[in-house]
Structure 1
Amino acid sequence: MENILVAGANGTTGKKIVDLLKQSQYFNPIAMVRKESQMEQFKAKNIEVLLGDLEQDISNSTQNIDKVIFAAGSGGKKVVEVDQEGAKKLVDASKANNIKKFVMLSSMGADQPEKAEKLKDYLQAKHNADVYLKNSGLNFAIVRPGSLTDNKGIGKIVLSEHLSQEGNISRDDVAQTLVRALNDDVANYKTFEILEGETLIGQALDTVG
């Protein structure tokens, strides 16, 4: 089994990612959280936990880790410190320990933040983090969903390098997409956008092998 570090494990989407990894026969999740008070919920499920604050030194966080999912976010409060610089720190730590793949949860609009009418600072931070990952030399998948909802996942998406429409997608389906993007035979050195759609997630990802 591969050890998967999940940054942002305590977030709404992060918790879904960790649960999916725990159910998998291929992956062993390591939940990275910022506070000691957040650790017990994972330990109670027999999930490994790592204490790591993206605003501090996290250079040791990727030891004995095979792959990384970055699903952390500041909720708009510290977009430079967490969404941008925190991501960069984790990329650096991943390079230092020869991580096999880095899956980044980004956002639609991060390719052209200057065109955004709202959330411009957030999208600029995500853009800068994405570019840093692309230039790192690491194998990566950058996943850019539309607006996230708490609706129950349908297991179907529309996926393209650039989608012409805007729209929504459930956190369930985003989590599923991120976990599937860890696989060795899909989404290597790829950036793509996703929305709720008509194609099964696995089939959609097969198109970005």
Structure 2
Amino acid sequence: MENILIAGAHGTTGKKIVNLLNQSSQYNPIAMVRKEEQVDYFKSQGIDTVLADLEKDVSPAFDNSIDKVLFAAGSGGKKVVEVDQEGAKKLVDAAKNNGIKKFVMLSSLGAENPEEATELKEYLQAKHNADEYLKSSGLNYTIVRPGSLTNDSLTNHITLEKSLGKQGEISRNDVAMTLTTCLTDNLASNQTFEIINGDTLINEALDNLSVTHA
């Protein structure tokens, strides 16, 4: 069983990711949280936790034997450089130092060309910079860029393209399912793609991506 470190575990999408991994026979989630009071939420469910702050030293997050990292943290627009950009870069560095097998990054639609954005430009620039840093790290990575997040139910279906060329919505449940599926070793390796609501099964969409860009 592989240990998966989830940054941003206490967030809305992060909790869904942790729950999915906790139901898996393949993965053991380790929830990375920055506040002591957030630990109890996961411990009460028997989920391993680690205290680490993306604005400080993240190396304690790797005191357990971590196999893979899933970055789902976000500052909510308040500290985009400190958390979304520099925090992500710190975690990439720590992952590299600890020889992790894969790094899955939750990014955002629009992060490819942040200069074209009419709103959230600073956020998208921070995500872009973090994505580029991960790409150049030498780590095995997958970068997932979803459209606007909703709280709709899981459909297990998406539209996936390297570049969609349009905006759209997608449920946090489908994003969480996509991210956790990308933890598979050779699935969507060293790929960046965009997703919104769609009609293709998540597994099928990711398989097609891996085959097309092998």
Structure-1 separation of matches of 2:187 and 2:208: 8
Q: Which residue of 1 aligns with 2:39?
A: 39
| 1:10 and 2:10 matched | yes
Aligned to 1:155: 156
- 2 CA distance for matches of 1:191 and 1:133? 11
Counterparts of 1:151-190 in structure 2 under 5 Å?
Answer: 151-190=152-191
Question: What CA distance in whole angstroms lies between the structure 1 residues aligned with 2:86 and 2:62?
Answer: 16
Partner of 2:100: 99
For 1:122, the aligned partner's letter is Y
The answer (yes or no) to whether the contact 1:60–1:93 under 8 Å persists in 2 is no
Q: What is the percentage of aligned positions where both structures have the same residue?
A: 65
Do structure 1's residue 62 and structure 2's residue 80 form an aligned pair? no
> SS where residue 21 of structure 2 aligns?
helix
Deviations 1:72-122 (A, max 9, x none): 000000000000000000000000000100000000100000000000000
* Structure 1 residue 25: Cα displacement: 0.8
- The one-letter code of the counterpart of 1:56 is K
Which letter does structure 2 place at the counterpart of 1:12? T
What letter matches 1:196 in structure 2?
N
Q: Structure 2: how far apart are the matches of 1:100 and 1:190?
A: 15
For 2:147, the equivalent position in structure 1 comes to 146
How far apart in 2 are the matches of 1:54 and 1:115? Answer: 28
Task: Please state whether the residue corresponding to 1:37 is helix, strand or coil.
Answer: helix
Structure-1 separation of matches of 2:83 and 2:97: 20
TM-score, L = length of structure 1? 0.99
1:49-91: CA deviation from partner (whole Å, max 9, x where unpaired)? 0001100011232241000000000000000000000000000
Q: How far 1:125 sits from its partner (Å)?
A: 0.2
Give the unaligned 5+ runs of structure 2. none
Q: Distance in 1 between matches of 2:62 and 2:76?
A: 24
Q: In structure 2, the residue corresponding to 1:172 is in which secondary structure?
A: helix
Give the secondary structure class of the aligned counterpart of 2:59.
coil
Which ranges in structure 1 are unaligned for 5 or more consecutive residues?
none
- Number of residue-to-residue matches in the alignment: 209
Question: How far did residue 184 of structure 1 move?
Answer: 1.2
**RMSD value, Cα:** 0.7
Question: What letter matches 1:179 in structure 2?
Answer: T
**Where do 4+ consecutive residues of structure 1 move more than 4 Å?**
none
- The Cα of 1:166 is off from its aligned counterpart by 1.0
Give, as a single letter, the amino acid of the residue that structure 2 aligns with 1:73: G
Q: Tell me which residue corresponds to 2:112.
A: 111
Q: Distance in 1 between matches of 2:185 and 2:204?
A: 15
Deviation of 1:167 (Å): 0.4
Asked whether the 8 Å contact 1:8–1:32 carries over to 2, the reply is: yes
Amino acid at match of 1:153: L
The alpha-carbon deviation at position 185 of structure 1 amounts to: 2.5
Please tell me whether the aligned partners of residues 73 and 82 of structure 1 are also in contact (alpha carbons under 8 angstroms). yes
Aligned to 2:125: 124
